[in-house]
Structure 1
């Protein structure tokens, strides 16, 4: 099939991982990790790498954790992360962009880059990201700390970290300061809807995740290439300690990693001009990017209408069904996003196609906002090995706040538009729940988590007031209530809640 010369194709992908304990471990910076992956992506094009690097006109950079909020980068950072990488590659793009926080960003940027290319606003685009979490840990208690500070001149479109689009003073005051506790609320809300007990639900989570570790064990880019059994994943031990209810460590994204990933996209016209073999070309057949309602406004905290719409829309745009897909990589920071995607796809946990190509965030690694760029790299490689088949990438950001989907294949196809803006507007118009920020009285626990990572074990509660059914948040250090939350099942339990100068407090009613 002949396609328009402006049609975008992915022509190069690259990944890099270094592990503490490896003989050649260097403790690399974010810039150096991204550079290693970017060089691999340039090589992967099969064309002259210097020529491709020189042709790059746009670079999108993904944020690392160290620049994803107001805290300083303890080992220093570049003032222009994308240009620091570009300089090392011998590239001089006219435009570089630093994307906001969000795990959906890699897939969202592939879609954005494709639209720029087809619209004639870019010809050769690189997307790259990295996460130096293990470097930060490695040097935390050492005297010989490196200084990764760089000052690079040149244009930078910094879109800001935008972390406060996911959290606010109210949620932070009530303990929602990390992903495990945030997703713990969602998984426990889903458990409530399904009517499952604590042990039964943990077993289903372990059944879903343990097979991912088998994939990770064979992936040379994995940060933890160890196969785990269902029993290992679900059993709380000293090694597999509880992080935030309902998650022991082996159900939590592994963020202490050193990983980088990159992808090169260009127009068909540029690919021909630069001599990229057609065997390298992979097309984006379907795509979507949706935004969910704010966390506490959602009627069902155990569901994600935006993710469901995003999945359906990407398949519609691609013109295929679930049975046509050969590979999946579903964002797996915690079980909840995988459960949501599997339900939307009608995909059983034991489907022989599996739910990951990388090995999943707890085992392959969870390099912050960059994880799904690794998923895209694996999918592109798999599609080249399976000409004409389709690969599905589901990418999730925030507190199940944004969901982006890509459907990939070597089968030529011209660019297709999607209805993401229209569908996001529909999601925004769904019913919402009123929130009372300073509650007094009695209510019931709607969902919950327990923070085992704080000095004092603390219960985190989302409840409904008996007086008007409005939603509230509260924390508790009450021994009786926290014991129920840790060792029993508090869903539906009656609590008394009072407002203090430092947030709401709950006890058993």
Structure 2
């Protein structure tokens, strides 16, 4: 019989969506977080007093804004939690699943017995405060900075030349993946746009039925893809309705503990959900170093590793949530997991980041909470979710079921997977390219008035074909229009360095 102290199990989940109509009516970030923690404990059937001194580790997901100097300490003080390990997660949308993976390993290795994870974003309230000219007084006293939890990578997600040219902002980068994917598939713009709009229309129909969704409204593919004053292009080919919605007030929390502690605290069997498989890995870090812009070796490896750990295949996954900050994140994850484009299984349990809401780095805490509830409703079924950080950079996968584990919990360490990823040779970066060149992918960026304002290029020169460069185009509205009406991938031209920028001009 397995040691019950070494079996990790999720026992409680909680979510909160606060749609206060004014800043004064909104919960503060700490109140938002506390509410979801209380709901997670209530969901598990555990009173706060029972567990205040039993939580070994607390991990709070980093916010896009530093709402509090020390979020873990603030929550511990507010709820009188005596966690000896208090952490703030690293940056990235995979952080919640990565934390569950790591903490499950800690339980399996008998390092801890109970962990509480939570996170929140209050950007909607922050926006209301700015409009009202209010300076939020949200912070709590703290004499120390929080300790960071297991960051896979410190520092910026983009190198200097990427930052200079604008390839350091997700809304600029993901459209470039999408255009590369469309070209790779050999589709026309109109055909591909219809497909990604239909994909996200299906996501919106899930959000419509989710009481926690920020936008619980079903949208047609035509509405999503049609450019209007309220649905402008952001980065071609993405309209506003294809982008993650960051301006939300949302929080979520999950409670993870050993089977032994769950037994001791009387957690009902039907509440328990087990992590059967997991994996974490990052693709080659900088966008300019990627193998290509229509795949992700790290997602493929994570998927295979997690499925092997669970002893299952993708055909066995009944419920799925693929990280959906932008359409290509879903498409590429789906392809890397070996799913057919026409697979009938829904690819979200929440409604996705554009419609459920994109609460910064904490979305996967919500998808995990929703997955736990879905699996409780369908005992014995498997669920898979993934998290993605930066620009399809860092990845985490989790596979869950209400069925108890049949063998000791053991995962493949991320370092093992990372060595496999880094064994692949990829293009180097050319900071100051010169001469004949060709476009590998591109986008056109738009301002808030719906007007094109910048063309972005990733390309390779003829004399350095194993090196990539980032560039902008000349400020030519006619050229930008051409880039949006035909397939600009493969276009030949001349690239030269002009001051800080590389400029690509088609022949």
User: 1:365, 1:153 → 2: CA distance?
Assistant: 33
Give the CA deviation at 1:350.
4.8
User: 2:97, 2:89 → 1: CA distance?
Assistant: 12
Cα-to-partner distance string for 1:427-461 (whole Å, 9 max, x where unaligned) = 11112113211012221111011110378610010
Q: Which deviates more from structure 2 when the two are superposed, residues 100-109 or residues 145-154?
A: 145-154
User: 1:389, 1:441 → 2: CA distance?
Assistant: 56
Structure 2 residue matching 1:288: 3-state secondary structure:
strand
| 2:461 aligned partner | 465
User: 1:461, 1:334 → 2: CA distance?
Assistant: 19
| 2:104 aligned partner | 114
Structure 2 residue 349 is the aligned partner of structure 1 residue 357: yes
Conservation of the 8 A alpha-carbon contact between 1:358 and 1:378: yes
C-alpha change, 1:3 and 1:410, in structure 2 (3 Å) is farther
C-alpha change, 1:98 and 1:230, in structure 2 (3 Å) is same
User: 1:456, 1:380 → 2: CA distance?
Assistant: 43
Q: Which deviates more from structure 2 when the two are superposed, residues 282-291 or residues 176-185?
A: 176-185
User: 1:192, 1:329 → 2: CA distance?
Assistant: 26
| 1:246 aligned partner | 237
Matches within 5 A, 1:335-484: 335-413=327-405, 414-418=408-412, 420-453=414-447, 457-469=453-465, 470-476=467-473, 477-484=475-482
RMSD: 2.1
Which residue, out of 111, 121, 143, partners 2:133? 143
| 2:281 aligned partner | 290
User: 2:53, 2:504 → 1: CA distance?
Assistant: 60
Conservation of the 8 A alpha-carbon contact between 2:324 and 2:353: yes
User: 2:190, 2:235 → 1: CA distance?
Assistant: 15
| 1:489 aligned partner | 487
| 1:190 aligned partner | 181
Q: Which sections of structure 1, spanning at least 5 residues, go unmatched?
A: 68-76
Give the CA deviation at 1:216.
0.3
Conservation of the 8 A alpha-carbon contact between 1:3 and 1:412: no
Give the CA deviation at 1:24.
10
C-alpha change, 1:57 and 1:395, in structure 2 (3 Å) is same
Structure 2 residue matching 1:127: 3-state secondary structure:
strand
C-alpha change, 1:320 and 1:456, in structure 2 (3 Å) is closer
Q: Which sections of structure 2, spanning at least 5 residues, go unmatched?
A: none
| 2:16 aligned partner | 16
Structure 2 residue matching 1:496: 3-state secondary structure:
strand
| 1:500 aligned partner | 498
User: 1:456, 1:199 → 2: CA distance?
Assistant: 19
Cα-to-partner distance string for 1:323-357 (whole Å, 9 max, x where unaligned) = 22110011000111211222233334553430000
Conservation of the 8 A alpha-carbon contact between 2:23 and 2:125: no
Task: Normalising by structure 1, report the TM-score.
Answer: 0.93
Structure 1 residue matching 2:457: 3-state secondary structure:
strand
